[in-house]
Structure 1
Amino acid sequence: MSALQFHWFLPTNGGDGRQVVDGGHGVDPGRSSRPASVSYLGQVARAAEDNGFAAALTPTGAWCEDAWVSTAMLSQVSDRLKFLVAFRPGSVSPFLAAQMAGTFQHLTGGRLLLNIVTGGESHEQRMYGDFEDKDARYERCGEFLHIVRRLWAGETVDFAGRHLRVEGARLAQLPEPVPKVYFGGSSPAAGRVAAEHADVYLTWGEPPGAVAAKVAWIRGLAGGRPIRFGLRVHVINRDTSAEAWAEAERLLAGIGEDDIARVRAGLRRSESEGQRRMLDLNGGTKHGLEVHPGLWAGIGLVRGGAGTALVGSHAEVADLIEEYRQVGIEEFVLSAYPHLEGAYWFGEGVLPELERRGLWSHPAPRRNRVAAVPFAN
């Protein structure tokens, strides 16, 4: 198994703060103390870059800043960091998406990764003018990726499917390199598309046993086609286990019962199988939230999407990461509250521990530090 890769998160979905910013997946976000501005997001991107994260996921949805526009701007205030841009195939044509990817790669020096999101909430999809049902959205997504892959290979594409059609499509500029495709989903329709098209299959932070079952499921569908696996999860790590759990309790104390009821009612409308599984883990209650040693489901009480966190000392979180690695996870897409400080907690605490274990190395060459006092060495 190859070395682990770690990615961070850009909070364009309602901003950031010292409490859990609620909402997501079709639910209006709550208030945050740090708006999703270029200035603040630039700080988060640079913190991720400095601490050794390979890329940063930027979400998509009606309550997010547009991921393409946001990351294009943030690429100019960072140097190395790649951007895992989430986007919905139903809102843009395959040729235009392939062309946008080529432009992004050309103008940023190859810093684009793509997170394909089919959309789990029909009421939100209709805001974008998309009236297909869930299974049709996945079928259309498969056609979309088939076309885009052929365009990126330099082919002239003629294609007529049930949902999409192109004639004589050929890119003038190919992306270099071709961006990796990240894809998630827990339904049978999602599994079929992921097995055929994904470079990296992403799943939310369920207990390792459930994640192992998903890995086996996708591998079986892929029939030997190479595919990597990633985990999207939050993290709360501190110098000691007691400090980490105290921080989890502080976040929990800031979550009101009314907010839990409001967000849960909204998330129940979701057609996402993965979202249903997140709701099942927390049960809508503040009790019994440690669903596996070191895995805490409190975030999902008020946040749609990824609803669990790795909690513990730096070494304990590293141990849990190793446990996920043993079931096939090689990439981790992480976040924290706040995202700026969280990047440093993880980057200065857990990543050095994983480096000592030979499981991770910094993606950029280290610079030798000059001693602060001449001749001190």
Structure 2
Amino acid sequence: MSLKFHWFLPTNGGDGRHVVGGGHGVSAGGSGRPADVAYLTQVARAAEDNGFEAALTPTGAWCEDAWLSTAMLSQTTDRLKFLVAFRPGVISPFLAAQMAGTFQNMSGGRLLLNVVTGGESHEQRMYGDFLDKDARYRRCDEFLEIVRRLWAGETVDFRGDHLSVEAATLSQIPDPIPEVYFGGSSPAAGIVAAKHADVYLTWGEPPEAVAAKIAWIRELAAVQGRTIRFGIRMHTITRDTAEEAWAEADRLLAGILPETIAKVQAGLRLSESEGQRRMLNLHGGKTSDLEIYPNVWAGVGLVRGGAGTALVGSHEQVADRIAEYAALGIEEFVLSAYPHLEGAYWFGEGVLPILAERGLWKDERPRRRSSPTVPFAAVGRAVR
């Protein structure tokens, strides 16, 4: 088995040498590096050069638009795929299918899709979406059925409780069909994932909790006659030694003011997301006992909504934890670090070679032609 590794594009307020917060209804806060094309290109190229397959771009009122951002970055990179997060409640299924076809065909097949139903009603209302959470999942089910049928080349007539199309025929069928990534911890989310997801994504929790989620989704998918792959979304703090890694975690924690934690936690407790509730329960808003499992640190979730845990340790230790999650059935890892640019190199140069040695990852990067540092070295060897 060759695991897949993806990186993250910090369009959620930018990047920096501290934890940039935001998400699920809370503001992003300050950052040292802007989320502009120039910097995001550096991050995307670092991911590409270090062997990552794709980069996730988030969605919501707290970040730049994922479709536009990645379309621009597809022109400043060569091979990297883009895991574009989008919300089905703010775009029609036909337009989404058409946009995916355009992106896929014009980028050379570099699109993956992360369907985010939306966990915050107050944020959804900013977009003009006034459905409650369970209704949003029922609409998402209809949305993905229409999109899948359009991608299959059908002429679609569909009338549902929330969405309807008539004689819909898609000319820009994507080639290949982009895989659908889907997350969610509520019962309603599980049903939709089982019917439509190619990859089910979970936020990082201790292995026992992740194993339970995998078993839950597998059972639901089996009822639908389907099999699903599994991925996990986490941050990373990996260094040459464990002491260096934990020192960096301590530095990040020291840069978070107590009043900031209190404010962010109060906002996140208003979230309707079951996954966010599970993230909050890992640390309870406290800065003590943040290592919730060996090399799994919940400190990021103190000020950041969504994925709130990090793999922390030496490169060998981080590789060990990845192998442990892989043994549960996790095949794809969506990772990040602060800053994202340097973090791609820490992980790519430190952890991926270890995983390759263990047979858990295969480097798919095209081989680069090397030339001798001294241009006349070959001549010198020839005349000896």
Count of aligned residue pairs for this structure pair: 376
Does residue 50 of structure 1 match 2:49? yes
Q: 1:361 offset after TM fit, Å?
A: 1.3
Determine the C-alpha separation between the residues in 2 that align with 1:347 and 1:107: 28
Q: SS where residue 238 of structure 2 aligns? A: strand
Aligned to 1:257: 258
Give the superposition deviation at 1:36.
0.3
C-alpha separation in 2, matches of 1:289 and 1:275 = 17
Aligned pair 1:281/2:282, yes or no? yes
1:369 deviates by 1.9
Partner of 2:133: 134
**Paired residue for 1:72?**
71
Tell me by how many angstroms 1:226 deviates. 1.9
SS of residue paired to 1:330: strand
Residue of structure 2 in register with 1:200 after alignment:
199
Q: Distance in 2 between matches of 1:176 and 1:299?
A: 37
Q: Residue in 2 aligned with 1:316?
A: 317
Q: Does the 8 A contact of 1:48 with 1:56 survive in 2?
A: yes
State the SS of the aligned residue for 1:102. Answer: helix
The Cα shift of 1:140 comes to 0.2
5 Å matches for 1:301-340? 301-340=302-341
- Aligned match of 1:271: 272
When structure 1 is superposed on structure 2, of 81-90 and 367-376 the one drifting more is 367-376
Show CA shifts across 1:67-96 (max 9, x none): 000000000000000000000000000000
Q: C-alpha distance in 2, partners of 1:84/1:3?
A: 19
Whole-angstrom distance in 2 between the partners of 1:44 and 1:300: 22
**1:364 CA drift (Å):** 2.1
Q: Distance in 1 between matches of 2:359 and 2:247?
A: 30
How do residues 122-201 of structure 1 correspond to structure 2 at under 5 angstroms?
122-201=121-200
Paired residue for 1:349? 350
Aligned counterpart, 1:367: 368
Report SS of the residue matched to 1:286. coil
Alignment deviations for residues 11-38 of structure 1 (CA, whole Å, 9 cap, x no partner):
0001000000112111111000101010
Secondary structure class of the residue paired with 2:178: coil
Give the deviation of 1:142 after TM superposition: 0.4
Aligned to 2:87: 88
Equivalent position of 1:113 in the other structure: 112
Distance 1:365 1:215 in 2: 33
* Counterparts of 1:110 and 1:54, CA distance in 2: 12
Is contact 1:60–1:86 with CA below 8 Å preserved after alignment? yes
Q: Deviations over 1:308-331 (max 9, x none)?
A: 000000010000000000111000
Equivalence for 1:59: 58
Other structure's SS at 1:236 match: strand
The 8 Å contact of residues 113 and 181 in structure 1, kept in 2 or not, is answered as: yes
Query: 63-72 vs 20-29, which deviates more?
Result: 20-29
Q: Partners in 1 of 2:141 and 2:281 — Cα distance?
A: 29
In structure 1, C-alpha distance between the alignment counterparts of 2:250 and 2:369, rounded to whole Å = 40
- Which secondary structure state, in structure 2, belongs to the residue aligned with residue 99 of structure 1? helix
Instruction: Measure, in 1, the Cα distance between the counterparts of 2:370 and 2:136.
Output: 52
Tell me, in whole angstroms, the C-alpha distance in 2 between the residues paired with 1:208 and 1:166: 42
Q: Which runs of 5+ in 1 are unaligned?
A: none
Counterpart residue number, 2:226: 225
1:368 Cα offset (Å): 3.7
Query: Once the two structures are superposed, what CA deviation does each residue of 1:45-64 show, in whole Å capped at 9, x if it has no partner?
Result: 00000000000000000010
Instruction: Name the amino acid aligned to 1:47.
Output: A
Mapped partners of 2:256, 2:34: distance in 1: 20
Q: CA deviation at 1:228?
A: 0.5
Fraction of identical pairs, as percent: 76
Q: One-letter code of the match for 2:149? A: R
Per-residue CA deviations over 1:265-293 (Å, capped at 9, x if unaligned) read: 11111100000000000110110000000
Q: Distance in 1 between matches of 2:162 and 2:328?
A: 36
Deviation, structure 1 residue 363? 2.4
Q: Give the SS at the match of 2:312.
A: strand
Counterparts of 2:202 and 2:141, CA distance in 1? 19
- CA deviation digits over 1:237-274, x for unaligned, max 9? 00001000000000000011000001001111110000
The answer to whether the 8 A contact 1:5-1:53 is kept is yes
Deviations, residues 185-227 of structure 1 (Å, cap 9, x unaligned): 0000000000010000000000011000000000000015121
Q: TM-score, normalized by length of structure 1?
A: 0.99
Name the counterpart of 2:242: 241
**Shift of residue 371, structure 1, vs aligned partner:** 2.3
AA paired with 1:254? Answer: G
Instruction: Return the alpha-carbon distance in structure 1 between the equivalents of residues 101 and 25 of structure 2.
Output: 30
- Local SS of the residue matching 1:183: strand
Unaligned runs of 5+ in 2: none
2:299 is the alignment partner of 1:298? yes
User: Which consecutive aligned stretches of 4+ in structure 1 deviate over 6 angstroms post-superposition?
Assistant: none
Q: 2:286 is matched by which residue type in structure 1?
A: T
Conserved in 2, the CA contact under 8 Å of 1:53 and 1:363?
A: no
Kindly provide the amino acid, as one letter, of the partner of residue 351 in structure 1: L
Cα offset, 1:173, TM superposition? 1.9
Amino acid of the residue matched to residue 311 of structure 1? V
Is residue 8–residue 334 contact of structure 1 (8 Å, CA) maintained in 2? yes
